[in-house]
Amino acid sequence: MTALIMIFSTVSGFLITNTYYHRVVKERNDKKNVEIAKTIVKHIEETPQLNLNEYLQTISDIGYQLYVVDASGSESFYDGKYRVKNLDKSAVKQVLAGRIYHGMRDFPRETFVTGFFANELSNTIGVPFKYESRRYALFIRPDIKLLFSEVHTLMGGLVIATALLSLLAMLLVAKMLIVPITQLTAATKRIADEKYDMQLNIDRKDEIGQLAASFNTMTEQLQENDNIRKEFISNVSHDFQSPLLNIQGYAGLLEADNLADEERKNYAGIIQSETNRLSKLTRQLLLLTSLDQSSRMVKFKDYRLDEQLKACINKYRWWLEEENIHLHLRMEPTMYRGDEVLFENVWDNLLTNAIKYNLPEGEIHIALERQDDYTEVTIQDTGIGISETEQAQLFHRFYRADASRTKEGTGLGLSIVKQIIELHKGEIHVASAPGQGTSFTIKLPNL
């Protein structure tokens, strides 16, 4: 590719230079050589005692090709080794008649050999002069061989050496680029085989190094996600297996003929409880899957958030009365733009947790306040509380604190709550201590 670029650049540069020569330099070159020719013939005409042949030979020795013809047609060449002697007779007559011949300016355009290098007799400047009362026509052009001095040779060698060294350097750079890319290719194949233990040891500061660092970060995240996935599957299997075994066991006991009515009711109640637990777990798993895959687009609409919270409280008022829990509300009419159905899951989870893990005759404080930039909801209970260690894992899937293992639950509720709030660009914070209750604070930006 480097060689192709260099060839393309050389050809393009030549064509551009050639075009510039024909459009700009060609006419300037013609004018310059006309002035030189006029200076030569002026010196001839102003110096009668001049030896014409010696003078013209001197001019040719310093780098010019000369062709001289008189009115009788006698011609002389002074180092005039022209490749093509194609000067038209009309041009000679024109100069002998006193007019200037602009062969350089009017030389036909060529694509690959410019007029500057065309060693042809027609590619000259012609000027008239008189010597010893005879009319002459002088045709002149620079001798290209003499114009190429040692400096030009050195410059040409420099260009060739630069091109070769550039090609070699680019091959080395390409090799340096290919090695880490090969490592990246091998690493991606391992990831395709679900082997996430690949870490690239590429210590570079360029874009390849940044790519390698991003790749290492990606593999770490994939490995963590893979561990979470395996743990998730293990937890799901366990949470499904336990109630299914209970249902199977108690269903077998119900088949006994000598079973008392009280025991039969007790076993049926356990089966119903385990069935409800399975149903709830299934619903929550479906909701989590929907949130993870973004298959359920959030449906934003304006609704009364305070009325939704009150409706949720009314739904569980029987439970509050049964547990003798005192409820304190501080709300103001609040319009909010969000997904009403999703937020129903949020308030259900937080309120049922506040009831479930509260102390007998405890309290629940619910506050709703709207600020200029955000809406804040606080749900605080006087329950058993949560330690700092447990708070760090509280929103992980299937996590249940030790103190709550005796309570019925799936360990998915708070994970769902966090995802729904984050889908609305909000935040949820927990403040708690063992035996001092728990407070959840939700900040939702006003969209």
Confidence of residue 328 (pLDDT cuts 50, 70, 90): very high
Q: Which has the higher per-residue pLDDT, 69 or 107? A: 69
Does residue 112 register a pLDDT over 90? no
pLDDT of residue 201: 80
* Element (DSSP H or E) covering residue 358: none
Q: Which CATH number fits domain 298-445: 3.40.50.2300, 3.30.565.10, 2.30.30.140, 3.40.50.1360?
A: 3.30.565.10
The answer to whether 377 touches 309, Cβ cutoff 8 Å, is yes
Q: Name the token pair of 257.
A: 């003929």
Q: What residue ranges do the domains of the chain occupy?
A: 2-147, 298-445
Helix (H, G, I), strand (E, B) or coil at 364: strand
pLDDT per position as a tens digit, 369-418: 998 889 999 999 999 988 888 877 787 765 555 444 344 556 677 888 88
CB 331 within 8 A of CB 366: yes
Tokens representing 54 are: 């010696």
The pLDDT tens digits for 283-324 are 767 776 767 665 456 788 999 999 999 999 998 898 899 899
Instruction: Supply 361's token pair.
Output: 């005759």
Alpha-carbon span 294 to 54, nearest angstrom: 97
Burial class (CB in 10 A: 0-12, 13-18, 19+), 262: exposed
Two tokens, residue 102:
């602009």
Of the listed ranges 9-13, 86-90, 325-329, 351-355, the least confidently predicted one is 9-13
Considering the segment(s) 2-147 as one domain, its CATH architecture is 2-Layer Sandwich (3.30)
Dist CA 20 CA 10 (whole Å): 15
DSSP letter (8 states) at residue 426? -
Contact between 379 and 433 (Cβ < 8 Å): no
Angle at 115 between CA 113 and CA 120, to 5 degrees: 100
Average pLDDT, the chain: 84
Instruction: Say how many residues make up the chain.
Output: 447
Cβ-contact 374, 446 below 8 angstroms: yes
Structure confidence at residue 115 (pLDDT): 61
Report, as an integer, the average pLDDT of 37-61.
91
CB within 8 Å of 263: residues ≥ 6 apart: 253
Asked if residues 191 and 217 have their Cβ atoms less than 8 Å apart, the reply is no
| Position 256 pLDDT exceeds 90 | no
- Using DSSP's 3-state secondary structure scheme, residue 239 falls into helix
Which residues contact residue 7 at a Cβ distance below 8 angstroms, ignoring those fewer than 6 apart?
none
Amino acid at 261: D
H or E segment and range at residue 421: helix 413-423
